[in-house]
Structure 1
Amino acid sequence: MHYIHPLSTYQIESLRHQSTRLLSMRLSRAEPTLRQEVVEYVLDVGSQLWSLRRGKANASRLMGFSQGLLAAWEWFDRIRRWKNPKLTISVFILYVFVIFYPQMIIPSVLLVIFGTGIMNFRSRPRNPPHMDIKLSQADTAHPNDLEEEFDTLPSSKHGQILTARYDRLRSMGGRIVMLIGDLATQLERIQSLLSWRDPRATSMFLMFCLVAAVVIFMLPPKHLLLFSGVFVMRHPRFRIDIPALPQNFFRRLPAKADSLL
C-alpha cells in the first residue's frame, strides 16, 4: 500500500509529529528520563524548518560532489586547448581507436571504474562515520544564524530582529528568483525554436535540421564522429576568441522575459 497509495508530505509530517509526541511522553517517564528536545533531534523533526547553516552545509555537499565533474571538464578543456600537445595527441589517438572499435567502449569504462575502485582501497575510511562539525558548518555559524535556527515557530522574537531576518530572506529569495528566471529563459529559448515567434530563427533551425538529417544519413557514423572529434580538438591556431555560432544564435532567441512586469 505504501507504493500503490503513497502518503502525502503533509500526512508524513503529521505522523512524524504524532510519533515524536508519543515517544517523548513515554521516554520522559523512563529512568533516566530523556528530554523532548533529544527525541526531536533524533527523529529530525525540524528538518523542514528554515536553517541558513543547514542550507550552506547542503550547498557545500553539492559542490563537493560536483568537484569531480568540474575537474573532468577542466582536464578535457586543457586537452582541447593543447596545453600539453603530447597528451592531446594521445587522447585523440585513443578517441580514433574507440571510434573504429566501438565494442571496446563499455569494457574499457568498466575496467577504468574497477581500477579506480582498487586504487581507492588504500584510502578507504577506517572508522565509522561520526558527526562532522565542519560539514555541518557549525564551527563557522554566526550566533544570529544559530539563534534563528533554534527559534520557535511562530517566532518568539519581535521588532528589529524579525525585520533584519526578513530582509535577509528577501535578498536570498531574490537570488533564487533570478536563478529560476534564467533557467526559464533558457527553456523558453529552446521552445521558441519551433514556435515561429522569430520566423528567421525558426526557418534557419529547420534548414539546419534538414541538412543535418541528410548529412547524417549519407555519412557513416564513424566518419561523422571522427570529424566531430577533429573539430572539437582542433589546434588553438584555428580557433577564434568570439563565442561560437550556435552559442551566439541561442543567446539571440526570443523568450518571455521581456513580457514580464
Structure 2
Amino acid sequence: MRFYYKVWMLAAALAVGVGLAGCGASASTSSSPAASNSAVPASSRVQEEGVVEPVGRFTIEDVTKTPDTITFVSADIASEVKDGTVTARIYSYDAYEKADIDALKVGDKIRLHEEYMTGNQYAEVEVTSIEKNDPYHTVTINGGIEQEGGLDLILMDGSEYYRTITFNDYPVYYEVGETELSLADDVVLKDSSADPQADAVETTGAQAVAAAINADPDNWTVYNTTLVVQEGKIVEVHRIWVP
C-alpha cells in the first residue's frame, strides 16, 4: 500500500482513517449542565487551563491548497466524475494528546465535535465522570456517547493520541467542508470492498478510475472511502469493505 506522510500534525493524528468505516454517532448537544447550550465557532477557541482541545484540526484550504503535502482524508464522493473532476465532502474526527487525557480530571472541560456539527463548531462539556479500561486502552467520559455530554475515546495503535470511538469502533465524524477535486493523471484506486478478506483490486489512470467511481456512484462514503490528496488533486482512492 503506497502511503505518504505529510509534514504537519494531521497525518500523525488522523491518518488512521484509512482503515476505518461505519455508522458514526455521538451524543447530541444538550441543555444538561454537563454540556454547553449551543455550538461555538471553533475560530473563537482559546487554550485555557483545565480545558482539553482536540488536535490536528484542518480546513478545506489545507487539503486543496497547501503545497508540498500529501493528505489522507475520509470523504463522501458526492458526484459522478465529470471532465476529470469530482465533488467530495471531507470529514475528520477529534483526536486528543494522550498526556492531556491521562491528566483529565472531574471538573475539567473537554471540547469536541458532536453529531451534525461542522468543522467550525464545537461543544464544550464539563467532565463529571471518567472511567478507564486500561486493557482495552479506552476512556469513557460522562457515561459515554449514549449519554448527554458523553464521550468515548480509544488510544490509536502506535501513537500518543486518543480518538473518538462510536459503534463498531468507528470515529465520530464531523464535516470539514465540500470541495471539487480533480483526479491526477496517474491516480490509483485500491478497492478491497468486495468482502472482509478481499485483496485490494488496483485500477490506474484517471479515465479508468473515473469509470469505476461512476459505475457505483452511491457507495463511496466517509465510512469506506479515503482520498489521498496532493495540492488539490486526488492521487489515490482507497475503498474498504464495511458490514
Fold shared by both chains (TM-score > 0.5): no
Larger Cα Rg: Structure 1 or Structure 2? 1
Higher helix share: 1
Higher relative contact order, chain-length normalized (CA < 8 Å, sep 6+): 2
Higher strand share: 2
Q: What TM-score range do you get, normalising by the shorter chain?
A: under 0.3
